[in-house]
Amino acid sequence: MADSSKRCKNCGDRMQNFRKLTDGEYDYVLAQVGRAEAGNYRRCDNGRCRRVQHYFRFGEGFTLPDSFR
Ligand SMILES: [Zn+2]
């Protein structure tokens, strides 16, 4: 499926579009989850939402710190 919408816990568990990480976001995620998984992470594209999560497993993820607005 090419559908980029995924369930976002930070957005009331509704479906949201997720986009690829910027370089700065990727570096942060890399430090959290390691190289094997960082490339599978996407960020919620809903305005100011800062959740990043695994593309295939929406339950795996976390919220980026305030500096990533
Ligand atoms: Zn969200």
Helix (H, G, I), strand (E, B) or coil at 63: strand
Residue 53 pLDDT: 97
Residue 68 pLDDT: 94
Which residue, among 40, 43, 54, 55, has the nearest Cα to 11 in the 3D structure?
43
SS (H, E, C) 12-53: CCEEEEEEECCHHHHHHHHHHHCHHHHCCEEEECCCCCCEEE
In a domain, 69, yes or no: no
Residue 69 pLDDT: 85
Domain holding 28, by residue range, is 5-61
Strand order in the sheet with 61-63: 5-8, 14-20, 41-44, 51-54, 61-63
Q: What is the mean pLDDT of residues 48-67?
A: 95
In a domain, 31, yes or no: yes
Ligand 1 centre and the CA of 11: distance in Å?
4
Task: Encode pLDDT of 3-54 as tens digits.
Answer: 668 999 999 999 999 999 999 999 999 999 999 999 999 999 998 899 999 9
Domain count, the chain: 1
In a domain, 66, yes or no: no
In a domain, 57, yes or no: yes
In a domain, 32, yes or no: yes
Ligand 1 centre and the CA of 9: distance in Å?
7
Ligand 1 centre and the CA of 6: distance in Å?
9
In a domain, 22, yes or no: yes
Ligand 1 centre and the CA of 19: distance in Å?
11
Ligand 1 centre and the CA of 1: distance in Å?
20
